[in-house]
Structure 1
């Protein structure tokens, strides 16, 4: 028994997850890391690959299966609020993995931004690491990491924020055009 293995599944399950074609974590672009182990001070981005596209497709499919349209911010926000309340109201030992819920709504927010702004899905590497993000294609200096948006608010138990935050980002990008 591993010291920190509680709740992680059997060794076979862990090995199977590790071998899966679609990783939740993008592969870091090691060419952007200097000798001191630091990433670039200015974010660098590259095209998404097949694994990242599969991750986006899976998130969109999960939302669609739940009857949630990423084109409707109010519906997306209401679905997130309901799912958070359900998760929060469940006994700790019985709760589903919140990472999967965060991922699903992060993909929904990101796809909404990709459909309504000049931002496009990219893999972004900076001093904080490598993430699936959205970046503008002109200057390359406007980056949104949807997982960070959702995870930070999840930790602070915020609800009701999705429509306002996403509409603000859309307005900022509209003004930038």
Structure 2
């Protein structure tokens, strides 16, 4: 078989695979809710005020950010710090990243807390419970913002994305 026959064959197989994938519906699996009956799960996010230990956790992560030289009042500083942390993590072989994501989630949440009408709370919905910044039914879970982009190795997003949220929720 010649080179062009192999290329055409590969293209044909890709087209067939794409057509097969289009025929199969995508299935979305919701997180396991444990033993909680579905009728008891909140359809809208519910939130509560922070407890002392949750506030202490935020404060300790803010201190770690400050030690890194990150100014949470400056989105360029937060973004540059996150990008540096991601680059270090990738170059080190990509071990545990939970603390890094948590630290920068707190940076994003604290920025929103300081510069908008959003306040730190603990939010619960059908997807789980997490630290969030909340005003009425407007809920931002900073860990989700950071974790999704971390998984995609996305850089340079903080000033635009968080800046947009600030414009939506001016004090």
The TM-score normalised by the length of structure 1 is 0.73
Structure (1 or 2) with the greater helix fraction: 2
SS at match of 1:133: strand
Residue number in structure 2 paired with 1:53: 55
In the alignment, what sits opposite 1:74?
76
Question: How big is the shift at 1:90?
Answer: 1.4
**How many Å separate the matches in 1 of 2:40 and 2:149?**
28
Paired with 2:76 and 2:141, the residues of 1 have a C-alpha distance of 20
RMSD: 1.6
Please name the residue that 1:84 is paired with.
86
Task: After the TM superposition, list the runs of 4 or more consecutive aligned residues in structure 1 that deviate by more than 6 angstroms.
Answer: none
The answer to whether the aligner puts 1:170 opposite 2:169 as a matched pair is no
Tell me, yes or no, if the aligned pair for 1:39 and 1:129 is still in contact at 8 Å.
no
Give distance in 2, aligned partners of 1:36 and 1:86: 42
CA distance in 1, matches of 2:88, 2:36: 44
Q: 1:35 to 1:67 in 2, by over 3 A?
A: same
DSSP-derived class of the 2:102 partner: helix
Q: CA deviation at 1:131?
A: 0.9
- Unmatched segments (≥5 aa) in structure 1: 1-32
Corresponding residue number in structure 2 for 1:113? 112
Separation (CA, whole Å) in 1 of partners of 2:52 and 2:39? 27
Name the structure 2 match of 1:41.
43
Query: Is there any run of 5+ residues in structure 2 with no aligned partner, and where?
Result: 1-34
C-alpha distance in structure 1 between counterparts of 2:89 and 2:39, whole Å: 38
What is residue 123 of structure 1 aligned with on the other side?
A: 122
Residues 124 and 130 of structure 1 are in contact (CA less than 8 Å); yes or no, is this contact kept in structure 2?
A: yes
Bigger Rg, which one:
2
TM-score between the two structures when normalised by the length of structure 2: 0.76
Distance in 1, Cα, partners of 2:39 & 2:128: 11
Distance 1:35 1:74 in 2: 44
1:161 matched to 2:157? The reply is: yes
**Which residue in the other structure is 2:103 paired with?**
104
Kindly tell me the number of residue pairs found equivalent between the two proteins: 137
